[in-house]
């Protein structure tokens, strides 16, 4: 009990600025989350044009798994929707560094 009483919680707040993509390019921002890790997972995203106008927004419930899976599924859903609706020039913005490494590593030509 004394150990728990000595714990301090720290709350941090970051200001996040959304920057418009260049003309004729869309930006897809996604995020995923787990209630515990692993636990119930889900995610969502928003697709906007260079004027900041929303084109598509979504949430996905992904069952149970780790938080990284939620991040991947949220991004994959958004990219799938974009390609199936003819949107091909897209900036994907995620907050999971590992996902950006997976994408850039797997998109390199052999």
What residue segments make up the domains of the chain, in order of their start? 19-104
Q: Which residues contact 82 (CB under 8 A, 6 or more apart)?
A: 26, 28, 47, 56, 88, 90
Which tokens is 28 given? 């897809």
**What does pTM read for this prediction?**
0.77
pLDDT tens, per residue, the chain with 110 residues = 555 566 666 667 777 788 999 999 999 999 998 888 888 999 999 999 999 999 999 999 888 998 889 999 999 999 999 999 999 999 999 887 777 777 766 665 55
Q: What is the pLDDT of residue 33?
A: 87
Q: Across 35-108, where does the E strand assignment appear?
A: 39-48, 54-65, 90-93
67-70: long-range contacts, CB 8 A cutoff, minimum separation 24: 67/32, 67/33, 67/34, 67/37, 67/38, 67/41, 68/32, 68/96, 68/98, 68/99, 69/32, 69/41, 70/32, 70/33, 70/34, 70/41, 70/42, 70/43
pLDDT at 74: 94
pLDDT at site 96: 75
CATH number of the 19-104 domain: 3.30.420.10
pLDDT value at residue 23:
95
């Amino acid at each position: 009990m004394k150990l728990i009483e000595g714990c301090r919680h720290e709350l941090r707040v970051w200001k996040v600025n959304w920057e418009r993509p260049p003309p004729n390019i869309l930006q897809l921002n996604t995020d995923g989350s787990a209630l515990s890790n692993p636990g119930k997972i889900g995610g969502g995203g928003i697709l906007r044009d260079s004027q900041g106008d929303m084109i598509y927004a979504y949430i996905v419930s992904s069952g149970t798994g780790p938080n990284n899976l939620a991040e991947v599924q949220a991004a994959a859903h958004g990219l799938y929707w974009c390609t199936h609706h003819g949107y091909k020039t897209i900036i994907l913005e995620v907050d999971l560094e590992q996902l950006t490494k997976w994408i850039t590593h797997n998109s390199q030509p052999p």
